[in-house]
């Protein structure tokens, strides 16, 4: 069969398997059908639920404004899929083109999309993690359980890690009048993602809203009572905080363990793929039949020195899934690159935070509009003399402009005048990111790898 | 006619009924500057969209005045301070936040929905009043009285005062018309005086409301207790003038342009009668196809900016021709076709960026209810004349009258 004939056959009666039944998996399935794929489609998901939306889980759901059972993702179209829900994929046989499932079943594919995403990083001490009242927040079940606890008027909630999720949880607690302590290893909340200058504003937000924010400390132990319920958290500064609920919010772990030994280029940092979403095998050779999308993918981005970016962003999951799906059933000349400019948002303490680009690459930051003190501003990040990212606090409507500056590699510092420029915004200052080698909750954007043109390319195959 | 007079042709009343061929011509020179200190006209979708989010573009009345000979005059030069539509952040943002507290989310998320029954009742009453007539003027008998009644109730302005405030609103709106051909200075002076008069009229109401607050926006503006505090009295007056005028002068055109377009596409009018849900998309497509605000002529740039390789020097005036962008074939497939099923429909009808239309949710709801009810209840409506006579204004463009023959009015 020549290429064209194969493609035609694939589109007509091929077998496509999607591992991961969340946002990326669903959107990919919809695009496959929308583009005329009429073969068999299998959706495999380890959770027992049809695809649902996660951003509300740390916001509206915790506030009781939305039920955790009712955050299903809206369907754009029928996908006519075989659903294998509540069954995790446990292995992949590249040569036989088969996915192994936890129940012993095997599913054959002609094209495979891996969209297994990430899971919450658990508290490292297992016995403490199992105490009643210790939570992570990633799934619908996590949110339902946590919401029940928050409703039961806990004396105090203790959040470990002041990244975006941890901060949103703290915000939801305060909005309901629940006492909350947040412990953060770095000097301020959100520093991994946005740096110390913006982190200082986030710290003010926490404190003004009544959060007991402890920075520069680590949690050394969680203590339970005789009935196995958590009762206190011990901190590295020697203090002990009594609490009924602990939420471990230490970032995420990529769901790639099931691919160990498969030969695919999968590891703790995700699954490497090219800009067209095709997975690399461990030798650095791109596969032709396996595609990757969403949080679990890491792909090179030309705008950011061809570094491999892995992004835990809602919008990235959608566009990458769309590109992957299109490419899965297209001839090579028709394939599209995934060129999404990273963007994410958060809402906490009544403030809308949005970012474009890769702030954590930034060496300096400049407040080009508004003011840090008023907590309404645009901060622009510079990297090697060009604009690399921007963040807005309650000022999202300007961000599009800054996105174009990023896309066009505009020079940094920003010399031209802007409306609402304050004296503080005339000079750039160090963006103040922590040393990336220090462990923390981690930024939502992680940079790894090197330019494809760089001969020093080092690739670490899946090893756990 | 030469290229050099394109701006004049656009503002020329003779071209009001169909400016779209001129916009097509305009898009051939997406950054048009006809010299003589005139404005830079921007007409392609992506350029407009990007300038609406560009922090080097100012809406500040003072910057505009400094930019020299202004067809728009400086209506705020005397009397009232500028309203937020003619201010930049942070002042714009502060005033708009206070104005938004009683109007929309996050503080009043259910306001629009709660107005729905009231809007429907006003519409039904107006349509009831058309029964027994063989020919109606949709503007005078429906499209004007409806939004006026709504904005009066929302703000707390007595509806019966309409003849009074209309005598001030008309010259103010005429002052917003960049018709370069007419005696400009005098028109601007009249507009300024009218604005002051309207402000004084509203000052009386505001004084009442600060003593005895009611459930209306005037009361809420003077008593606002948000983190930004209340507005000053002068700010309340400027804001109230803005909301009163913007609250109906644009909607009347949206509804009238809408009905005119539907009468020109009778198959869509018939569908709407049976598919009330279609009204949502019809209104969006109308905002693209026949936007009630054709262009934004009140911007200046505070830095040299580059658009398509052309440098617009700092201090220049910029016109964003929304209606031209809305029909840009680079952005919309088959842009001159009115397509009620269009899905890719991110139009510029309400602008975009920090100045995007404050009243958009209300205008949408008013137009959806109005057009559906007209489609449902008017029996066999036909255009009496096409094109209808237009209002003078090139910015706020719409028919002055829309005479429609009907066989009757169906029951509610």
pLDDT per residue over A389-421, tens digit each?
Answer: 999 999 999 999 999 999 888 999 999 999 999
Domain covering A126-250 assigned CATH 3.50.50.60 in the classification: yes
Pairwise CB contact (< 8 Å): B54 & A401: yes
Give me chain A's average pLDDT, please.
Answer: 91
Task: Supply the pLDDT for residue B176.
Answer: 84
Contact B324, B298 (CB under 8 A): no
- How many angstroms separate the CA atoms of A406 and A316, rounded? 17
- Model confidence over B235-248: pLDDT tens digits? 999 999 999 999 99
Q: Which 302-341 residues of chain B touch chain A by CB within 8 A?
A: 302-304
Q: What is the number of domains present in chain B?
A: 1
Shortest distance between the Cα of A420 and any Cα of chain B, in A, equals 5
Q: How many CB pairs under 8 A join A and B?
A: 49
Q: Which 414-443 residues of chain A touch chain B by CB within 8 A?
A: 416-420
Q: Flag whether residue B106 sits within 8 Å of chain A, measured between CB atoms.
A: yes
Residue A448 contacts by C-beta under 8 Å, 6 or more apart in sequence?
Answer: A269, A298, A307, A308, A310
Interface test with B, best of A418, A422, A423, A424 (most B CBs within 10 A): A418
Taking residues A71-81, report their average pLDDT: 93
Domain covering A343-447 assigned CATH 3.30.390.30 in the classification: yes
Domain that holds residue B110: 3-409
- Angle ∠(A155,A159,A164) on CA atoms, nearest 5: 135
With bands split at pLDDT 50, 70 and 90, how would you rate the model's confidence at A254?
Answer: very high
For residue A196, which phi and psi values (nearest 5 degrees)? Answer: -75, -30
- Model confidence over B40-71: pLDDT tens digits? 999 999 999 999 999 999 999 888 877 764 44
Task: Supply the pLDDT for residue B225.
Answer: 85
Helices (H), A162-267: 164-175, 191-208
Given a cut of 80, is residue A1 above it in pLDDT?
Answer: no
With bands split at pLDDT 50, 70 and 90, how would you rate the model's confidence at B182?
Answer: low
Beta-ladder partners of A41: A16
Burial of A80-109, coded b for 16+ CB within 10 Å and e otherwise, reads ebeebeebbbbebebeebbbbbeeeeebeb
- How many angstroms separate the CA atoms of A351 and A354, rounded? 10
- Angle ∠(A358,A361,A362) on CA atoms, nearest 5: 100
Measured between beta carbons, the chain A residues lying within 8 angstroms of B50 are 400-401, 404
B189 burial via Cβ count (<10 Å: 0-12, 13-18, 19+): middle
Given a cut of 70, is residue A86 above it in pLDDT?
Answer: yes
Q: Flag whether residue B51 sits within 8 Å of chain A, measured between CB atoms.
A: no
Given a cut of 70, is residue B407 above it in pLDDT?
Answer: yes
- How many angstroms separate the CA atoms of B114 and A162, rounded? 39
Find the closest chain A residue to B315 by CA distance: A417
Residue A333 contacts by C-beta under 8 Å, 6 or more apart in sequence?
Answer: none
Task: Supply the pLDDT for residue A454.
Answer: 31
Pairwise CB contact (< 8 Å): B88 & A400: no
Q: Regarding the domain delimited by A3-119+253-334, which CATH topology (the fold level of the hierarchy) does it fall under? A: FAD/NAD(P)-binding domain (3.50.50)
Pairwise CB contact (< 8 Å): B56 & A419: yes
- Model confidence over A299-312: pLDDT tens digits? 998 888 788 888 89
Length of chain A: 464
Lowest mean pLDDT among A247-251, B192-196, B326-330: B192-196
Given a cut of 80, is residue B214 above it in pLDDT?
Answer: yes
Facing B55 at nearest CB: one of A350, A374, A419: A419
**Largest pairwise CA distance in chain B:** 61
Measured between beta carbons, the chain A residues lying within 8 angstroms of B88 are 419-420
Q: What ipTM was assigned to the predicted interfaces of this complex?
A: 0.89
3-state secondary structure of A41: strand
Among residues A289, A259, A321, A255, the alpha carbon closest in space to that of A25 is found at: A321
- How many angstroms separate the CA atoms of B322 and B293, rounded? 8
CATH of the domain at B62: 1.10.630.10
With bands split at pLDDT 50, 70 and 90, how would you rate the model's confidence at A446?
Answer: low
**What pTM was estimated for this model as a whole?**
0.89
Given a cut of 90, is residue A276 above it in pLDDT?
Answer: yes
Q: Flag whether residue B93 sits within 8 Å of chain A, measured between CB atoms.
A: yes
- How many angstroms separate the CA atoms of A438 and A358, rounded? 19
- How many angstroms separate the CA atoms of B91 and A363, rounded? 31
The 3-class secondary structure across B273-321, one letter per residue, is HHCCCHHHHHHHHHHHHCCCECCEEEEEECCCEEECCEEECCCCEEEEC
Measured between beta carbons, the chain A residues lying within 8 angstroms of B303 are 416-418
The structure tokens listed for B386 are 């096409």
- Angle ∠(B383,B387,B388) on CA atoms, nearest 5: 75
- How many angstroms separate the CA atoms of B255 and B32, rounded? 31
CATH 3.50.50.60 spans which residues of chain A?
A: 3-119+253-334, 126-250
**B289 vs A267: which has the higher pLDDT:** B289
Given a cut of 70, is residue A462 above it in pLDDT?
Answer: no
- How many angstroms separate the CA atoms of A413 and B194, rounded? 47
CATH 3.30.390.30 spans which residues of chain A?
A: 343-447
Q: Flag whether residue B213 sits within 8 Å of chain A, measured between CB atoms.
A: no
3-state secondary structure of A89: strand
The structure tokens listed for B190 are 């009249």
Cα-Cα-Cα-Cα torsion B74, B76, B77, B80, nearest 10 degrees, comes to: 170
Pairwise CB contact (< 8 Å): A419 & B53: no
With bands split at pLDDT 50, 70 and 90, how would you rate the model's confidence at A451?
Answer: very low
- How many angstroms separate the CA atoms of A39 and A10, rounded? 7
Taking residues A315-333, report their average pLDDT: 95
């Amino acid at each position: 069969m020549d290429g064209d004939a194969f493609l035609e056959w694939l589109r007509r009666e091929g077998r496509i398997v999607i591992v991961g039944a969340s946002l990326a998996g669903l959107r990919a399935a919809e695009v496959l059908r929308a583009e005329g794929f009429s073969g068999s489609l299998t959706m495999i998901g380890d959770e027992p639920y049809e695809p649902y939306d996660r951003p509300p889980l740390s916001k509206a759901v915790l506030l009781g404004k939305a039920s955790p059972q009712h955050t299903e993702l809206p369907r754009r179209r029928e996908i006519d899929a075989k659903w294998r829900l509540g069954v995790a994929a446990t292995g992949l046989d590249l040569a036989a083109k088969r996915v192994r499932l936890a129940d012993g079943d095997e599913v054959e594919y002609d094209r495979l999309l891996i969209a297994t995403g990430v899971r919450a990083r658990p508290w490292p001490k297992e016995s403490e993690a199992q105490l009643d009242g210790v939570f992570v927040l990633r799934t619908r079940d996590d949110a339902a359980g946590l919401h029940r606890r928050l409703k039961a008027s806990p004396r105090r909630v203790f959040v470990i890690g002041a990244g975006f999720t941890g901060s949103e949880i703290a915000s939801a607690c305060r909005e309901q009048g629940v006492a909350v302590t947040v412990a953060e290893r770095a000097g301020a909340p959100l520093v991994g993602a946005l740096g110390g200058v913006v982190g200082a504003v986030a710290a003010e937000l926490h404190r003004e809203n009544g959060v007991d924010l402890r920075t520069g400390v680590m949690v050394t132990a969680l203590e339970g009572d005789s009935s196995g319920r958590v009762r206190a958290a011990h901190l590295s500064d020697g203090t002990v905080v009594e609490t009924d609920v602990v939420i471990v919010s230490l970032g995420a772990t990529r769901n790639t363990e099931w691919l160990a030994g498969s030969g695919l280029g999968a590891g703790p940092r995700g699954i490497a793929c090219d800009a067209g979403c095709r997975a690399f095998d461990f030798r650095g050779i791109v596969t032709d039949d396996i595609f990757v999308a969403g949080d679990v993918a890491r792909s090179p981005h030309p705008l950011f020195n061809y570094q491999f970016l892995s992004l835990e962003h809602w919008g990235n999951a959608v566009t990458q899934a769309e590109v992957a799906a299109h490419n899965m059933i297209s001839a090579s000349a028709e394939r599209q690159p995934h060129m999404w400019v990273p963007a994410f948002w958060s809402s906490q303490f009544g403030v809308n935070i949005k970012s474009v680009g890769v702030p954590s690459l930034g060496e300096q930051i400049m407040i080009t509009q508004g003011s840090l003190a008023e907590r309404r501003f645009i901060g622009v990040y510079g990297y090697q003399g060009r604009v690399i990212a921007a963040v807005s606090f309650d000022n999202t409507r300007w961000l599009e402009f800054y996105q174009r500056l990023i896309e066009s590699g505009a020079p940094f510092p920003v010399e031209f005048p802007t409306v609402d420029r304050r004296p503080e915004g005339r000079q750039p200052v160090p963006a103040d990111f922590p040393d990336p080698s220090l462990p923390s909750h981690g930024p939502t954007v992680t940079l790894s790898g090197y330019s494809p043109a760089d001969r020093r390319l080092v690739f670490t195959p899946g090893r756990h | 006619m030469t290229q050099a007079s394109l701006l004049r042709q656009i503002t020329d009343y003779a071209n009001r009924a169909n400016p779209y061929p001129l916009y097509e011509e305009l898009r051939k020179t997406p950054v048009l500057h006809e010299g003589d200190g005139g404005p830079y006209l921007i007409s392609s979708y992506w350029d407009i969209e990007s300038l609406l989010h560009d922090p080097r573009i100012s809406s500040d009345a003072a910057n505009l005045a400094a930019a020299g000979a202004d067809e728009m005059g400086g209506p705020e030069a005397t009397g009232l301070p500028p309203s937020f539509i003619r201010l930049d952040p942070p002042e714009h943002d502060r005033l708009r936040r206070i104005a938004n507290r009683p109007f929309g989310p996050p503080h009043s998320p259910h306001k629009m929905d709660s107005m729905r029954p009231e809007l429907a009742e006003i519409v039904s009453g107006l349509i009831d009043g058309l029964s027994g007539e063989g020919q109606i003027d949709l503007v005078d008998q429906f499209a004007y009285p409806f939004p006026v009644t709504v904005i009066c109730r929302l703000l707390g302005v007595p509806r019966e005062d309409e003849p009074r405030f209309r005598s001030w609103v008309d010259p103010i709106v005429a002052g917003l018309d960049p018709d370069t051909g007419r005696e400009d200075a005098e028109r601007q002076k009249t507009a300024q005086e009218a604005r002051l008069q309207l402000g004084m009229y509203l000052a009386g109401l505001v004084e009442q409301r600060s003593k005895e607050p009611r459930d209306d926006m005037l009361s809420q503006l003077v008593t606002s207790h948000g983190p930004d505090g209340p507005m000053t009295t002068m700010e309340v007056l400027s804001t109230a003038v803005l909301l009163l005028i913007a609250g109906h002068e644009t909607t009347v055109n949206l509804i009238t342009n809408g009905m005119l377009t539907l009468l020109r596409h009778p198959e869509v009018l018939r569908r709407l009668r049976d598919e009330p849900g279609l009204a949502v998309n019809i209104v969006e497509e109308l905002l693209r196809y026949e936007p009630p605000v054709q262009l934004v002529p009140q911007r200046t740039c505070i830095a040299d900016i580059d658009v398509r390789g052309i440098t617009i020097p700092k201090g220049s005036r910029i016109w964003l021709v929304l209606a031209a962008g809305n029909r840009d074939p680079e952005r919309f497939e088959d842009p001159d076709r009115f397509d009620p099923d269009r899905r890719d429909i991110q139009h510029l009808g309400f602008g975009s960026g920090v100045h995007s239309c404050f009243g958009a949710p209300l205008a949408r709801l008013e137009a959806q209810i109005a057009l559906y009810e007209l489609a449902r209840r008017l029996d066999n409506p036909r255009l009496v004349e096409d094109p209808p006579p237009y209002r003078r204004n090139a910015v706020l463009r719409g028919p002055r009258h829309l005479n429609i023959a009907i066989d009757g009015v169906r029951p509610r």
